[in-house]
Amino acid sequence: MTKTIMITGAGSGLAKGAAIGLAQEGHKVIASVENESQADGLRDAARDEDVDLKIFKMDITDPSDREAMKDYEYDIFVANAAINEGGPIWEMPMDDIRRLYEINVFGTLETARIAAEYFVGKRQGKIIFMSSKAEKMSSAYKGLYSSSKHALGAIAKALKQEMEEFNVQVATINPGRFGTGFNDRAVEANWKWYDEDQHHTPKDKLEASGNSLNNQLDPQLMIDKMVEIIPMEHHKFRVVYPESTAEDMREEEKKDWEIEI
């Protein structure tokens, strides 16, 4: 069955690929992007693939931009827009920390609330939060992003229960580490503020934290999984892909019970 699907943060990465892939499958896709440059890039990509997308600008932290959501009708809302920054939480600039939470948690929640109210009104719909393996896996220099996705997972779990009486579904999709450039930008962000002469965290440890970039997966695999899952009527509340990532997350949760100080 053809669905109308709204996706935020579709100007790049997995959501950009999923928006095009869903349109190729015959779904109607409403894609929000942060700025006009991304809008132009997505239009060009859609033209190259010969698909139609409805594209509009929405910075999810901007109240006036969020109002634009109310102009559309849709069956599924995918809250994808996010940023990733790494570094030692105790030394990172607080402005950077607040900005990440404004986007990944508060802005995301505000858009989901708009979608929830719309779906409650018609007693049908589905909200999908794009989370991450990081939701269950925090480690040194990656805790900020992990904490934001952990918050999002808790929000999604509660919202799922709250929405059931209104016939509205809620789920998360938790990708593993895919090579879209998203993770690379997070590592690069360390060097915006870090000063070896002023900060205590050793430079070599920050550099080593980027080693995980060597083992990133082909993003098309995750895009194909999103295109499969997003329109489905029924699936798991937490969709983790690939399965090896799900195993890593389960193992990490078990280890948490054994940690001592």
Which pLDDT score, from 0 to 100, does residue 182 have?
Answer: 83
Quick one: which of 66, 158, 77 has its CA closest to 122?
77
C-alpha distance from residue 217 to each of 121, 122, 178 (Å): 40, 39, 4
Q: Does residue 259 lie within any of the structural domains?
A: no
Which pLDDT score, from 0 to 100, does residue 210 have?
Answer: 76
**Element (H or E) spanning 225, and its range?**
helix 219-229
Question: What's the number of domains the chain is made of?
Answer: 1
Give the pTM. 0.96
Copy the structure tokens of residue 234.
């029924």
CATH of the domain at 111: 3.40.50.720
Quick one: which of 192, 213, 196 has its CA closest to 205?
196
Q: Does residue 177 lie within any of the structural domains?
A: yes
Q: Collapse the DSSP code of 76 into the 3-class scheme (helix H, G, I; strand E, B; otherwise coil) and give the result.
A: strand
In what side-by-side order are the strands of the sheet with 28-33? 54-57, 28-33, 4-7, 76-79, 125-130, 168-175, 238-241
Which pLDDT score, from 0 to 100, does residue 213 have?
Answer: 74
- The contacts found for 137-141 with CB under 8 angstroms, 24 or more apart, are 137/248, 137/249, 137/252, 140/88, 140/205, 140/209, 141/86, 141/87, 141/88, 141/190, 141/201, 141/205, 141/206, 141/209
Q: Does residue 260 lie within any of the structural domains?
A: no
Q: Does residue 212 lie within any of the structural domains?
A: yes
Each residue's pLDDT tens digit, 70-97: 999 999 999 999 999 989 999 999 999 9
Which pLDDT score, from 0 to 100, does residue 158 have?
Answer: 98
What CA–CA distance (Å, rounded) separates 168 from 162? 9
Cα 128-129-132 angle, rounded to 5 deg? 130
Which pLDDT score, from 0 to 100, does residue 133 have?
Answer: 95
Q: Collapse the DSSP code of 250 into the 3-class scheme (helix H, G, I; strand E, B; otherwise coil) and give the result.
A: helix
Asked if residues 53 and 20 have their Cβ atoms less than 8 Å apart, the reply is yes
Q: Which domain holds residue 172?
A: 4-254
The interaxial angle of helices 143-163 and 108-122, nearest 10 deg, is 10
Q: Does residue 224 lie within any of the structural domains?
A: yes
Q: Does residue 230 lie within any of the structural domains?
A: yes
Asked if residues 118 and 75 have their Cβ atoms less than 8 Å apart, the reply is no
Q: Does residue 116 lie within any of the structural domains?
A: yes
What pLDDT tens digit does each residue of the chain (261 aa) get? Answer: 999 999 999 999 999 999 999 999 999 999 999 999 999 999 999 999 999 999 999 999 999 999 999 999 999 999 999 999 989 999 999 999 999 999 999 999 999 999 999 999 999 999 999 999 999 999 999 999 999 999 999 999 999 999 999 999 999 999 999 988 887 777 777 788 999 999 999 999 988 887 767 789 999 999 999 999 999 999 999 999 999 999 999 999 999 999 999
Q: Does residue 261 lie within any of the structural domains?
A: no
